[in-house]
Structure 1
Amino acid sequence: MADIVIINPRFEPSYWGMDHALPFMGKSANLPVACLPLLAALTPREHDVTLIDENVEAIDWERCARADIVALTGMSVQRFRMKEILTELKARGCFVVIGGPWITVQEDYFDDVPDVIFVGEAEETWPQFLREWSSGLHQFRYEQADKTDMSTVPTPRFDLINMKKYAFGSLQFSRGCPFQCEFCDIIVTFGRRPRIKTSAQVIAELDAILKTGLRIVFIVDDNLIGNKKAIKVVLREVIEWQRKKGYPLTFFTEASIDLADDAELLDLMVEANFVATFIGIESPSEEALRETKKFQNVRAGGTLTEKVRTIQKAGIEVWCGMIMGFDSDDVGIVERQIEFIQQSRIAFSMSGMLSAIPKTPLHSRLATEGRLDFSDRSEFGTNVVPLKMSREELLNGYFEVLNRLYEPEAYFERTDALFLDPAFELGIVKKKPWWRLSRRWVLSEAKCVVESLGLFSRLIWSVPSAELRREYRKRLFNFLKVHRRPGLLLFYVFHLAMHYHTWKMAKDMSSRSSQLVNSF
């Protein structure tokens, strides 16, 4: 039997982290990373497992020192903190294993300091390692010969995490993406053949997440609709589960823009109560999209703006990822990006500079062309040397996009263009009056009144800028002249809190008063 500690390092402040909005919500982190409860579920029950998410609790170094095995995971943006944690653990004599997205693409990053490394998925290799460790015959490097059969993935151990510290829950339905975007490491890690869990697995996980008390869940799939035929089958089961339970959960996820081309799929997602989706739009420039092989974004059937509006009209808000620094980009891309976001009525754009992740086609191409900065933490925020502008121009353009997008006038112009439409609604309420959905939903709406008042009050009391406080009061008043549904009110107040987060992130980064974080 082994005593095991599994650690997820803290993230640096970022767009996704919601760092400046979380205090208003009384939460420590946005959502738990999916790997912690999953690794615990993959661990045979004869072992003891402790999960530590540094985003919600400090690392207990003494606890780690007592463990037989300390496992460390992390993404590329966590790599600096991973190094610090690894150094501290080894100084305390810990046996340390490392896995996750970053070491999968940069196996030699930690040199030979770890005792064991895991490359890629670990549903097979983690139990294999534990068996071999028990026999004193473990290897240094583990990598599965084949991608994981998703029908074998167990329900995550949410019982080992303090879920009350998170704003949202997280689940995974599938892995892999059929597309071939040059810059993306998803197809490197998970492959281009989408693999999906069975409906029975998904329902079991919905039951498990429901027990945690969380009501909003992020489906963390990098492209939920990568296999449209298969996900439609699962969504029908999710819809039936929601109906039987009284619609207790609200979902948001990530999908590709071709969601707009499938009316049936859009309708199923709305019926399942998806209220938002993140879409990698990347650029309003068709030349840039073709250059990076983002062909799904240039297919016939309407412009990108028209497709975004199709999804919005169906009852799903669109958030997006945008990238500057493609080979065809010059300084004019700044205005084009801002104009596109404003016209598309997208409140949240995760704007970033193009970066080349190891093992991606982009990294290989730019290395051959001599256009990579190999420093670990570049002063320019990216390892890519752009073609049609200087590195200073790219960085300054990045700051300009962030600041202009999240100035109150621009942010609320596009947000209110969507929310203040009298016909605007989200998820299942777009199809059915909320008071007819279920008794549970009605009680949830009543709870939203209290939560909206609490969140707005904390926002008004805590935001230091009197000008912003006045803006938030004005915007809320304008919203209430159009809409009265408590759940939609809470969603709008969340957008007020997220404005403060994104506005402060932009100001802090562009003034260099906080760490420069690419991809916002």
Structure 2
Amino acid sequence: MKILMVYPSYPNTFWSFKYALKFVSKKASLPPLGLLTIATYLPKTWDVKLVDMNCEKLKDEDIKNADYVFISAMTVQRESSKEVIKKCNDFGIPVVAGGPLFTMEPDTFHDTVDYFVLGEGEDIMGDLIKDIENKKVKRYYVKTAFCDIAKTPVPKWDLLNLKWYASMSIQYSRGCPYNCEFCDIGALGGRVPRQKSAKQIIDEVQSLYDAGWRKSIFFVDDNFIGNKSKLKKDVLPALIEWQKSHRYPFTFYTEVSIDFADDDELMELMSQSGFDRVFVGIETPDPESLKEANKYQNIKHDLEKSINKIQSFGFEVQGGFIVGFDSDMPTIFKRQFDFIQNNGVVTAMVGLLNAPRGSQLYEKLRNENRLLGEMTGDNVDAMTNIIPKMDSKSLVSGYKSLVGLLYNPKNYYKRLKEFLSVYKVPNFPKSKISASEIGAFLKSIFLLGIFGKERKEYWKILTWSLFKKPKVFSKAVSFAIYGYHFRKVAEKLSKSEKKRVLSET
């Protein structure tokens, strides 16, 4: 049996790091972990090929030579998925579709996808494989209960060209104990977090090490700290021991909730494990909007103190922010800017409020006739599938101005220096500087230091870090490169706003 696995392309978004990837000669930020996991269930006698369209072109011959095409995608990959499925339809090759996009929107693809895997795939694969072998494949394979991920095997890394990626990814848990109104994680992963064992995590880390990987690893968990006691008792001590015995070949990053700041022991253990970045859904400094979003874990915390405390333990706090809540006043754009700027949140992903399928917000707004179709999944396209309470033109214009201000070089480098000034450099051994990192630095001198709009700020931060805090010099270079990507994304938004104004005049 010949199986072609396809991961559709995603547009140039905030998290795509498209403009930054060329500095390190990489093609994509992260690999398609879902497909790599599902691939482990397929019989070894089957011929399996994976095409990540973010790294290589999908060839017609690849489709024609397949017995089945397996496709998995997220919402942001909807348009690319449609194009892939149409090609398969044209060549008469049956499509098996699974993952978040198809689980939440099977009706969107009802006329084009042959077979659906709805829900988590692990417990479904046995029946699907048997039916494929017997040529009796059913239209739908549905798993309503959440699976036991303690039985999930190590992803099939040998399907990848590791050199194409800036980071690898593994998963420790699924689900989140919180119930934010705008979030669909409850529908996709449940509100009772499920975890893998410490042995599973060490096996996955070891498998990447054995495959030759030596860079960063993203724990893709929606909330890594959903079960703090298990982390502190089993998983983190095992990671620390492994990292020490291998001289810290990896750095880790993940997503956490703001209550991370409440647990000094947890922060210390994660730092010792090699974690140096955490993404936190901060959303907004406005308490009324937080109440509206059912984000009570944030209301209970002093957000500024929590961010500063997390930073003091050696973590970069990457923040998620939202504008467009019903409670938002026109002053929200300045409030968001001041909050982000004053707290040194260098990487601030600001998006318009959207309602994904599966969220409480989606159902509420559908009942209020305030939905404008489906969300795009692109976090910086200035699009929303919600009819907002604020004047829509003012909302979009204010949003674009906010992003532009945040990633204006002067403002970006100012909060970068603010962060690096308080950043606690980890005390574990650093891996040797790679050739690609040296190349990235040289490219940054050329593109940013000589020809870039940020050249003045670029040299100021490098000079400051070299003489005042040399241990953060490499961080300063990395952030400068990230800043270039964010600036280009912001400029793209600004151009679209100018076109809108011109068209209206």
Contact 2:355 2:375 in 1 (8 A): no
Is 1:172 aligned to residue 157 of structure 2? no
Q: How does 1:359-378 map to 2 (within 5 A)?
A: 359-374=358-373
The Cα offsets for residues 292-342 of structure 1, whole Å up to 9 and x where unpaired, read as 11111111xx51010001100011110010011111012211011111101
The match for 2:388 among 386, 389, 395 is: 386
CA spacing shift, 1:168–1:513, aligned 2, 3 Å: farther
Distance, in Å, in 2 between the alignment partners of 1:263 and 1:213 is: 30
**Partner residue, 1:503:** 487
Q: How does 1:177-216 map to 2 (within 5 A)?
A: 177-211=176-210, 212-216=212-216
**Partner residue, 1:247:** 248
Task: Return the offset for 1:354.
Answer: 0.6
**Partner residue, 1:397:** 398
Distance, in Å, in 1 between the alignment partners of 2:153 and 2:338 is: 45
Distance, in Å, in 2 between the alignment partners of 1:197 and 1:270 is: 20
Q: How does 1:27-426 map to 2 (within 5 A)?
A: 27-211=26-210, 212-232=212-232, 233-299=234-300, 302-374=301-373, 381-387=383-389, 389-421=390-422, 424-426=423-425
Distance, in Å, in 1 between the alignment partners of 2:197 and 2:499 is: 42
Task: Return the offset for 1:513.
Answer: 9.3
Task: Return the offset for 1:451.
Answer: 5.3
Distance, in Å, in 1 between the alignment partners of 2:251 and 2:499 is: 33
**Partner residue, 1:25:** 24
TM-score (norm 2): 0.94
Residue aligned with 1:481, SS: helix
RMSD: 2.0
Matched letter for residue 119 of structure 2: G
CA spacing shift, 1:86–1:36, aligned 2, 3 Å: same
Distance, in Å, in 1 between the alignment partners of 2:497 and 2:124 is: 42
CA spacing shift, 1:513–1:451, aligned 2, 3 Å: farther
Q: How does 1:454-465 map to 2 (within 5 A)?
A: 454-463=439-448, 465=451
Contact 1:452 1:489 in 2 (8 A): no
Task: Return the offset for 1:33.
Answer: 2.4
Residue aligned with 1:72, SS: strand
Task: Return the offset for 1:380.
Answer: 5.8
Distance, in Å, in 2 between the alignment partners of 1:58 and 1:36 is: 17
Distance, in Å, in 2 between the alignment partners of 1:98 and 1:125 is: 13
Matched letter for residue 220 of structure 1: V
**Partner residue, 2:503:** none
Distance, in Å, in 2 between the alignment partners of 1:224 and 1:60 is: 37
Contact 1:64 1:89 in 2 (8 A): yes
Distance, in Å, in 2 between the alignment partners of 1:375 and 1:32 is: 25
Distance, in Å, in 2 between the alignment partners of 1:469 and 1:339 is: 24
Matched letter for residue 383 of structure 1: N
Contact 2:96 2:115 in 1 (8 A): yes
CA spacing shift, 1:265–1:145, aligned 2, 3 Å: same
Contact 1:508 1:514 in 2 (8 A): no
Distance, in Å, in 2 between the alignment partners of 1:126 and 1:279 is: 34
Contact 1:168 1:214 in 2 (8 A): no
CA spacing shift, 1:489–1:515, aligned 2, 3 Å: farther
Residue aligned with 1:472, SS: helix
The Cα offsets for residues 428-476 of structure 1, whole Å up to 9 and x where unpaired, read as x2xx3x5xx4xxx4xx24x26x655432220232358443233312221
The Cα offsets for residues 202-242 of structure 1, whole Å up to 9 and x where unpaired, read as 00000011123232111111110011112222111111111
Matched letter for residue 230 of structure 2: A
Task: Return the offset for 1:393.
Answer: 1.4
Matched letter for residue 226 of structure 2: G
CA spacing shift, 1:215–1:515, aligned 2, 3 Å: farther
The match for 1:474 among 446, 460, 468 is: 460
The Cα offsets for residues 254-293 of structure 1, whole Å up to 9 and x where unpaired, read as 1101000011111110110100100011111111111111
Distance, in Å, in 1 between the alignment partners of 2:452 and 2:154 is: 47
Greater shift, 109-118 or 378-387, is seen at 378-387
Residue aligned with 1:511, SS: helix
CA spacing shift, 1:138–1:16, aligned 2, 3 Å: same
Contact 2:413 2:457 in 1 (8 A): no
Matched letter for residue 231 of structure 1: L
Matched letter for residue 385 of structure 1: I
Task: Return the offset for 1:514.
Answer: 12
Distance, in Å, in 2 between the alignment partners of 1:466 and 1:66 is: 46
CA spacing shift, 1:29–1:377, aligned 2, 3 Å: closer
Distance, in Å, in 2 between the alignment partners of 1:283 and 1:408 is: 23
Gaps of 5+ in 1: none
Task: Return the offset for 1:6.
Answer: 0.7
Distance, in Å, in 1 between the alignment partners of 2:47 and 2:120 is: 22
CA spacing shift, 1:261–1:255, aligned 2, 3 Å: same
Size of the alignment, in residue pairs? 494
CA spacing shift, 1:126–1:174, aligned 2, 3 Å: same
Contact 1:18 1:501 in 2 (8 A): yes
Distance, in Å, in 2 between the alignment partners of 1:383 and 1:457 is: 42
The Cα offsets for residues 374-402 of structure 1, whole Å up to 9 and x where unpaired, read as 27769961101111x11111111110111
Q: How does 1:408-447 map to 2 (within 5 A)?
A: 408-421=409-422, 424-426=423-425, 429=426, 432=427, 437=429, 441=430, 444-445=431-432, 447=433
CA spacing shift, 1:505–1:343, aligned 2, 3 Å: same
Matched letter for residue 310 of structure 1: K
Contact 1:509 1:515 in 2 (8 A): no
CA spacing shift, 1:97–1:146, aligned 2, 3 Å: same
Distance, in Å, in 2 between the alignment partners of 1:69 and 1:492 is: 47
CA spacing shift, 1:491–1:376, aligned 2, 3 Å: closer
Task: Return the offset for 1:425.
Answer: 2.5
Task: Return the offset for 1:46.
Answer: 2.4
